[in-house]
Structure 1
Amino acid sequence: MPNVAQILKSKLDDPMAARRTAERPVLTIDAEASVFEAVKMMAQYQIGALIVTQGSEKKIAGIVTERDYARKIVLMDRSSKSTPVRDIMTAQVLHVRMSDTAEACMALMTQHRMRHLPVIDNGQLVGMVSIGDLVKTIISEQQFTIQQLEHYISGVHT
């Protein structure tokens, strides 16, 4: 089963993800920014979550997702332009390490009903793994296994 480091490396094959990674390894937004700015950034980069930072050290303060927007702005009839991200972000941020497996990430996401996991390496934010990244990885692994079994059954060995 691939680990988080391999998943992040494979994301570079996706042109949109590669462009984002070249510009910034992980997209973040300041806790004082408006929710409108956060949603605009998510739309621009076609992503579903941003890491929220705070202070001059850009310390991780939380995570804001499309789900936060839908539940805490739209459904509560608040203004996205006047509400700061800190008011709707999830402050308790679970994360994974580069050595964690896709299976461990999937278990964590399932258990906590979440779709995005920041990746921390040596105390630094180095990436983000989404449920889509994990599904893509698992499907790719299954396709490889199926190919190997088909070759084995048919007597073709590589």
Structure 2
Amino acid sequence: MFVAEILKTKGNAVFTVTPDLSVAGACRELEQRRVGALVVCDGDRVAGVFSERDVVRALASEGPAALGRPVSAYMTEKVIVAEPREPMAALMTRMTDRRIRHLPVMESGRLVGVVSIGDVVKAQIAEHAQEAESLRTYIAG
């Protein structure tokens, strides 16, 4: 299975914010959108990823004052991305090795989706279930 197939199933909605949005504003977005991360875009450029982990890091380092600071102060700037034609196994390895839970999906320099570790696990389970059903059908055959 490839990243494009995961996006086809889950959809390619991407929730973005600007680098100057406050941490409090980003927290509201995370809660309203019911997601664990937001892609930070400066115009058409992906500038970073702001996740629940970044919120925790901000509060741990500065306390409540962090809520008024911009997400650019805490976002992950070195963005690791995926491409639609990548196999799911490569994605799983990258996410596990780097301890990343959300990857923006880029195609020709354009943001086309986001894949979470939950999306990858769900796709893996569905793939294994389909293989098991195929084997049962073959054996019963």
Query: How many Å separate the matches in 1 of 2:64 and 2:48?
Result: 20
Residue correspondence of structure 1 range 3-18 to structure 2 within 5 A: 3-12=2-11
Q: How many residues align?
A: 140
* Deviation >3 Å, runs of 4+: none
Q: Secondary structure at the match of 2:120?
A: helix
Deviation at 1:78? 3.7
Among all aligned residue pairs of Structure 1 and Structure 2, give the percentage whose two residues are the same amino acid.
39
Query: How many Å separate the matches in 1 of 2:66 and 2:8?
Result: 34
For structure 2, list consecutive stretches of 5 or more residues without a partner in the other structure: none
**Per-residue Cα deviation, 1:27-79 (whole angstroms, up to 9, x for no partner):** 1111011011111111111100011112xx33211110001101222x22143
Using the size of structure 2 for normalisation, the TM-score is 0.94
Q: Are residue 123 (structure 1) and residue 115 (structure 2) matched?
A: no
Query: How many Å separate the matches in 1 of 2:39 and 2:117?
Result: 16
The equivalent of 1:142 in structure 2 is 128
Q: Secondary structure at the match of 2:4?
A: helix
**Per-residue Cα deviation, 1:104-139 (whole angstroms, up to 9, x for no partner):** 111100110010000001110010000000000000
Query: How many Å separate the matches in 1 of 2:139 and 2:91?
Result: 32
Q: Secondary structure at the match of 2:115?
A: strand
In angstroms, what is the RMSD of aligned CA positions?
1.2
Tell me the amino acid that sits aligned with residue 3 of structure 1.
F
The equivalent of 1:53 in structure 2 is 41
Query: How many Å separate the matches in 1 of 2:7 and 2:101?
Result: 16
Residue correspondence of structure 1 range 68-107 to structure 2 within 5 A: 68-73=54-59, 75-76=60-61, 77-107=63-93
Q: Are residue 38 (structure 1) and residue 13 (structure 2) matched?
A: no
